[in-house]
Structure 1
Amino acid sequence: MKKSSFQTVFRIMIILMTVLSPSLLLAGEIIVIANKNVPDSQLTKDEVKAIFLGEKTKWSNDSKVSFVVLKTPEDQEKFMKDYVGKSPSQFNNFWKQQVFTGKGKMPEAFDDVKALLDYVAKTDGAIAYISSDAPAGNVKKVEVK
Protein backbone atom coordinates (compact mmCIF):
# COMPACT_ATOMS: atom_id res chain seq x y z
CA MET A 1 0.00 0.00 0.00
CA LYS A 2 1.37 3.38 -0.97
CA LYS A 3 1.98 5.95 1.70
CA SER A 4 -0.77 8.27 0.38
CA SER A 5 -3.32 5.41 0.31
CA PHE A 6 -2.41 4.47 3.86
CA GLN A 7 -2.79 8.10 4.98
CA THR A 8 -6.22 8.29 3.32
CA VAL A 9 -7.41 5.10 5.01
CA PHE A 10 -5.99 6.30 8.33
CA ARG A 11 -7.80 9.66 8.02
CA ILE A 12 -11.09 7.92 7.22
CA MET A 13 -10.66 5.69 10.27
CA ILE A 14 -9.99 8.72 12.50
CA ILE A 15 -13.08 10.50 11.13
CA LEU A 16 -15.25 7.43 11.70
CA MET A 17 -13.96 6.96 15.24
CA THR A 18 -14.62 10.64 15.97
CA VAL A 19 -18.12 10.67 14.47
CA LEU A 20 -19.36 7.34 15.80
CA SER A 21 -19.84 7.02 19.53
CA PRO A 22 -17.71 4.27 21.07
CA SER A 23 -20.74 3.08 23.05
CA LEU A 24 -22.63 2.53 19.80
CA LEU A 25 -19.79 0.47 18.44
CA LEU A 26 -19.24 -1.64 21.55
CA ALA A 27 -22.56 -1.96 23.37
CA GLY A 28 -24.95 -4.79 22.69
CA GLU A 29 -28.69 -4.72 23.09
CA ILE A 30 -30.14 -4.74 26.57
CA ILE A 31 -31.78 -7.96 27.72
CA VAL A 32 -33.86 -8.62 30.81
CA ILE A 33 -32.75 -11.55 32.94
CA ALA A 34 -34.25 -13.28 35.96
CA ASN A 35 -33.59 -16.00 38.48
CA LYS A 36 -34.37 -19.40 36.96
CA ASN A 37 -37.16 -19.92 39.53
CA VAL A 38 -39.09 -16.84 38.38
CA PRO A 39 -42.33 -18.24 36.93
CA ASP A 40 -42.70 -15.61 34.20
CA SER A 41 -40.67 -16.03 31.01
CA GLN A 42 -42.39 -13.20 29.13
CA LEU A 43 -43.22 -9.66 30.20
CA THR A 44 -44.55 -6.62 28.42
CA LYS A 45 -42.53 -3.40 28.39
CA ASP A 46 -45.17 -1.92 30.69
CA GLU A 47 -44.66 -4.76 33.17
CA VAL A 48 -40.88 -4.25 33.12
CA LYS A 49 -41.40 -0.53 33.71
CA ALA A 50 -43.82 -1.27 36.57
CA ILE A 51 -41.30 -3.64 38.18
CA PHE A 52 -38.44 -1.13 38.10
CA LEU A 53 -40.71 1.65 39.40
CA GLY A 54 -41.86 -0.53 42.27
CA GLU A 55 -45.46 -0.81 41.05
CA LYS A 56 -45.39 -4.53 40.24
CA THR A 57 -44.15 -6.33 43.33
CA LYS A 58 -45.39 -9.91 42.78
CA TRP A 59 -44.78 -12.52 40.11
CA SER A 60 -47.66 -14.51 38.58
CA ASN A 61 -47.33 -17.13 41.35
CA ASP A 62 -47.59 -14.38 44.00
CA SER A 63 -43.89 -14.61 44.94
CA LYS A 64 -41.96 -11.40 45.64
CA VAL A 65 -40.23 -9.48 42.84
CA SER A 66 -36.69 -8.37 43.70
CA PHE A 67 -35.20 -6.07 41.07
CA VAL A 68 -31.64 -4.81 40.90
CA VAL A 69 -29.92 -2.40 38.55
CA LEU A 70 -26.60 -2.28 36.78
CA LYS A 71 -24.68 0.99 37.15
CA THR A 72 -22.58 0.74 33.98
CA PRO A 73 -23.42 4.04 32.26
CA GLU A 74 -24.12 2.77 28.73
CA ASP A 75 -26.31 -0.14 29.84
CA GLN A 76 -28.15 1.90 32.46
CA GLU A 77 -28.83 4.76 30.05
CA LYS A 78 -30.16 2.42 27.35
CA PHE A 79 -32.31 0.36 29.74
CA MET A 80 -33.81 3.40 31.45
CA LYS A 81 -34.60 5.08 28.15
CA ASP A 82 -35.98 1.99 26.39
CA TYR A 83 -37.86 0.34 29.26
CA VAL A 84 -38.52 2.82 32.06
CA GLY A 85 -38.89 6.09 30.14
CA LYS A 86 -36.52 7.97 32.44
CA SER A 87 -32.90 9.01 32.42
CA PRO A 88 -30.68 7.38 35.05
CA SER A 89 -30.73 10.60 37.11
CA GLN A 90 -34.55 10.81 36.88
CA PHE A 91 -34.76 7.17 37.97
CA ASN A 92 -32.45 7.80 40.94
CA ASN A 93 -34.40 10.93 41.91
CA PHE A 94 -37.66 8.96 41.69
CA TRP A 95 -36.30 6.37 44.12
CA LYS A 96 -34.83 9.02 46.43
CA GLN A 97 -38.31 10.54 46.63
CA GLN A 98 -39.80 7.09 47.35
CA VAL A 99 -37.30 6.65 50.20
CA PHE A 100 -37.91 10.18 51.54
CA THR A 101 -41.68 9.66 51.62
CA GLY A 102 -41.40 6.17 53.12
CA LYS A 103 -42.85 4.46 50.03
CA GLY A 104 -39.82 2.38 49.12
CA LYS A 105 -36.11 1.79 49.38
CA MET A 106 -33.35 2.41 46.87
CA PRO A 107 -32.85 -0.54 44.54
CA GLU A 108 -29.64 -2.45 44.98
CA ALA A 109 -27.18 -1.38 42.30
CA PHE A 110 -24.14 -3.23 40.97
CA ASP A 111 -21.03 -1.81 39.30
CA ASP A 112 -20.00 -5.25 38.07
CA VAL A 113 -21.95 -7.55 35.72
CA LYS A 114 -20.56 -10.69 37.37
CA ALA A 115 -21.73 -9.59 40.83
CA LEU A 116 -25.17 -8.75 39.42
CA LEU A 117 -25.40 -12.14 37.69
CA ASP A 118 -24.37 -13.93 40.89
CA TYR A 119 -27.03 -12.04 42.85
CA VAL A 120 -29.79 -12.81 40.33
CA ALA A 121 -28.77 -16.48 40.13
CA LYS A 122 -28.87 -16.86 43.93
CA THR A 123 -31.92 -14.70 44.75
CA ASP A 124 -35.45 -16.03 44.31
CA GLY A 125 -37.63 -13.55 42.44
CA ALA A 126 -34.68 -11.49 41.20
CA ILE A 127 -34.81 -9.60 37.91
CA ALA A 128 -32.24 -7.31 36.27
CA TYR A 129 -30.85 -6.23 32.91
CA ILE A 130 -27.52 -6.71 31.16
CA SER A 131 -26.00 -6.14 27.77
CA SER A 132 -26.71 -8.98 25.35
CA ASP A 133 -22.98 -9.40 24.78
CA ALA A 134 -22.38 -10.16 28.48
CA PRO A 135 -22.26 -13.84 29.43
CA ALA A 136 -25.65 -14.60 31.01
CA GLY A 137 -24.45 -17.38 33.29
CA ASN A 138 -26.92 -19.26 35.49
CA VAL A 139 -29.96 -17.03 34.88
CA LYS A 140 -32.77 -17.04 32.35
CA LYS A 141 -33.51 -14.50 29.67
CA VAL A 142 -36.96 -12.94 29.92
CA GLU A 143 -38.66 -12.15 26.63
CA VAL A 144 -40.03 -8.61 26.56
CA LYS A 145 -42.89 -7.90 24.18
Structure 2
Amino acid sequence: MQKSVLVLIVFIFTSTASIAGEVRFIANQSVPEFVISKEDVSEIFLGIRVQWSDKTKIKFVLNGDETSHNALMKKYIKKSPSQFKYYWRNMLYTGKGAVPKTFDSVDDLIKYVQSTEGAISYIDSTVKADNVKMISVK
Protein backbone atom coordinates (compact mmCIF):
# COMPACT_ATOMS: atom_id res chain seq x y z
CA MET A 1 0.00 0.00 0.00
CA GLN A 2 2.75 2.45 0.95
CA LYS A 3 4.61 1.61 -2.24
CA SER A 4 1.50 2.37 -4.33
CA VAL A 5 1.04 5.73 -2.61
CA LEU A 6 4.70 6.58 -3.16
CA VAL A 7 4.48 5.66 -6.85
CA LEU A 8 1.34 7.80 -7.19
CA ILE A 9 3.03 10.78 -5.51
CA VAL A 10 6.08 10.47 -7.78
CA PHE A 11 3.83 10.23 -10.84
CA ILE A 12 1.85 13.33 -9.87
CA PHE A 13 5.02 15.29 -9.12
CA THR A 14 6.70 14.39 -12.42
CA SER A 15 3.52 15.09 -14.39
CA THR A 16 3.25 18.54 -12.82
CA ALA A 17 6.94 19.20 -13.35
CA SER A 18 6.66 18.39 -17.05
CA ILE A 19 3.87 20.97 -17.42
CA ALA A 20 5.74 23.66 -15.48
CA GLY A 21 8.11 25.53 -17.73
CA GLU A 22 6.15 24.86 -20.91
CA VAL A 23 5.07 27.97 -22.75
CA ARG A 24 2.37 28.71 -25.26
CA PHE A 25 2.21 31.67 -27.57
CA ILE A 26 -0.54 34.26 -27.49
CA ALA A 27 -1.16 36.97 -30.05
CA ASN A 28 -3.54 39.80 -30.70
CA GLN A 29 -6.64 38.73 -32.63
CA SER A 30 -5.39 40.82 -35.59
CA VAL A 31 -2.40 38.53 -36.17
CA PRO A 32 -3.09 36.52 -39.36
CA GLU A 33 -1.00 33.48 -38.43
CA PHE A 34 -2.37 30.51 -36.49
CA VAL A 35 0.74 28.33 -36.82
CA ILE A 36 4.40 29.35 -36.87
CA SER A 37 7.63 27.36 -36.90
CA LYS A 38 10.30 27.20 -34.19
CA GLU A 39 12.50 29.21 -36.53
CA ASP A 40 9.77 31.86 -36.79
CA VAL A 41 9.65 32.09 -32.99
CA SER A 42 13.41 32.59 -32.83
CA GLU A 43 13.38 35.19 -35.61
CA ILE A 44 10.49 37.09 -34.01
CA PHE A 45 12.05 37.30 -30.55
CA LEU A 46 15.48 38.15 -31.98
CA GLY A 47 13.97 40.98 -34.02
CA ILE A 48 14.88 39.41 -37.36
CA ARG A 49 11.31 38.88 -38.52
CA VAL A 50 9.51 42.20 -38.09
CA GLN A 51 6.25 41.78 -40.05
CA TRP A 52 3.39 39.31 -40.11
CA SER A 53 2.30 37.85 -43.46
CA ASP A 54 -0.16 40.74 -43.93
CA LYS A 55 2.68 43.29 -43.42
CA THR A 56 1.45 44.29 -39.94
CA LYS A 57 4.37 45.16 -37.65
CA ILE A 58 5.23 42.44 -35.13
CA LYS A 59 5.24 43.79 -31.58
CA PHE A 60 6.69 41.14 -29.31
CA VAL A 61 6.98 41.52 -25.57
CA LEU A 62 8.71 39.42 -22.96
CA ASN A 63 7.30 37.63 -19.96
CA GLY A 64 9.08 38.59 -16.73
CA ASP A 65 8.34 35.20 -15.19
CA GLU A 66 11.75 33.54 -14.94
CA THR A 67 10.47 29.99 -15.53
CA SER A 68 8.56 30.97 -18.68
CA HIS A 69 11.40 33.13 -19.98
CA ASN A 70 13.96 30.36 -19.42
CA ALA A 71 11.69 27.86 -21.19
CA LEU A 72 11.43 30.19 -24.21
CA MET A 73 15.20 30.66 -24.30
CA LYS A 74 15.99 26.97 -24.02
CA LYS A 75 13.40 25.54 -26.40
CA TYR A 76 13.09 28.23 -29.08
CA ILE A 77 15.83 30.88 -28.94
CA LYS A 78 18.77 28.58 -28.11
CA LYS A 79 20.42 31.25 -25.98
CA SER A 80 20.83 31.58 -22.25
CA PRO A 81 18.90 34.46 -20.67
CA SER A 82 22.17 36.38 -20.24
CA GLN A 83 23.14 35.81 -23.90
CA PHE A 84 19.70 37.03 -24.96
CA LYS A 85 20.04 40.13 -22.78
CA TYR A 86 23.50 40.82 -24.23
CA TYR A 87 22.16 40.31 -27.76
CA TRP A 88 19.51 43.00 -27.23
CA ARG A 89 21.94 45.39 -25.52
CA ASN A 90 24.20 45.02 -28.54
CA MET A 91 21.25 45.67 -30.88
CA LEU A 92 20.47 48.84 -28.90
CA TYR A 93 24.04 50.14 -28.87
CA THR A 94 24.52 49.51 -32.59
CA GLY A 95 21.22 51.21 -33.44
CA LYS A 96 19.68 48.03 -34.86
CA GLY A 97 16.87 47.68 -32.34
CA ALA A 98 15.40 48.56 -28.98
CA VAL A 99 15.41 46.36 -25.91
CA PRO A 100 12.06 44.51 -25.82
CA LYS A 101 9.48 45.49 -23.23
CA THR A 102 9.15 43.04 -20.34
CA PHE A 103 6.02 42.56 -18.25
CA ASP A 104 6.44 41.37 -14.67
CA SER A 105 2.68 40.85 -14.39
CA VAL A 106 1.19 38.17 -16.63
CA ASP A 107 -2.18 39.95 -16.41
CA ASP A 108 -0.61 43.15 -17.76
CA LEU A 109 1.14 41.15 -20.49
CA ILE A 110 -2.15 39.56 -21.56
CA LYS A 111 -3.90 42.97 -21.55
CA TYR A 112 -1.13 44.40 -23.74
CA VAL A 113 -1.45 41.55 -26.23
CA GLN A 114 -5.25 41.87 -26.24
CA SER A 115 -5.11 45.59 -27.01
CA THR A 116 -2.08 45.89 -29.31
CA GLU A 117 -2.32 45.15 -33.02
CA GLY A 118 0.38 42.72 -34.13
CA ALA A 119 1.39 41.78 -30.57
CA ILE A 120 2.76 38.38 -29.61
CA SER A 121 4.15 36.96 -26.38
CA TYR A 122 4.33 33.75 -24.39
CA ILE A 123 2.81 32.56 -21.15
CA ASP A 124 3.09 29.51 -18.96
CA SER A 125 0.99 26.72 -20.44
CA THR A 126 -1.13 26.60 -17.28
CA VAL A 127 -2.17 30.27 -17.45
CA LYS A 128 -5.64 31.02 -18.82
CA ALA A 129 -5.84 33.84 -21.35
CA ASP A 130 -9.08 35.08 -22.93
CA ASN A 131 -9.60 37.28 -25.98
CA VAL A 132 -6.23 36.43 -27.51
CA LYS A 133 -5.27 34.15 -30.37
CA MET A 134 -3.38 30.99 -29.46
CA ILE A 135 -0.51 30.43 -31.87
CA SER A 136 0.67 26.86 -32.44
CA VAL A 137 4.31 26.05 -33.10
CA LYS A 138 5.07 23.29 -35.57
- The answer for unaligned runs of 5 or more in structure 1 is 6-11
Structure having the higher Rg: 1
1:27/1:131 contact within 8 Å kept:
yes
For 1:1-145, what aligned pairs fall within 5 Å after superposition?
A: 24=17, 27=20, 29-145=22-138
Q: 1:79-138: CA deviations, max 9, x gaps?
A: 111011111111111000000111000000001110000000000000000011101121
For 2:37 and 2:93, the matched residues in 1 are separated by 29
* Length-normalised TM-score, structure 1: 0.82
What is the letter of the counterpart of residue 132 of structure 1?
S
User: How far apart, in 2, do the equivalents of 1:129 and 1:59 lie?
Assistant: 17
The root-mean-square deviation of aligned C-alpha atoms, in Å, is 2.3
Runs of 4+ in 1 over 6 A off after TM superposition: none
Residues matched between the structures, number: 133
Percent of aligned pairs with the same amino acid: 41
- Tell me which amino acid in the other structure corresponds to 1:131: D
Paired with 1:74 and 1:29, the residues of 2 have a C-alpha distance of: 9
- Structure 2 portions without partners, runs of 5+: none
Q: Deviations over 1:42-82 (max 9, x none)?
A: 10000110000000000000110000000111110011110
AA of the residue aligned to 1:93:
Y
**1 CA distance for matches of 2:47 and 2:70?**
19
Distance in structure 2 (CA, Å) of the matches to 1:68 and 1:76: 11
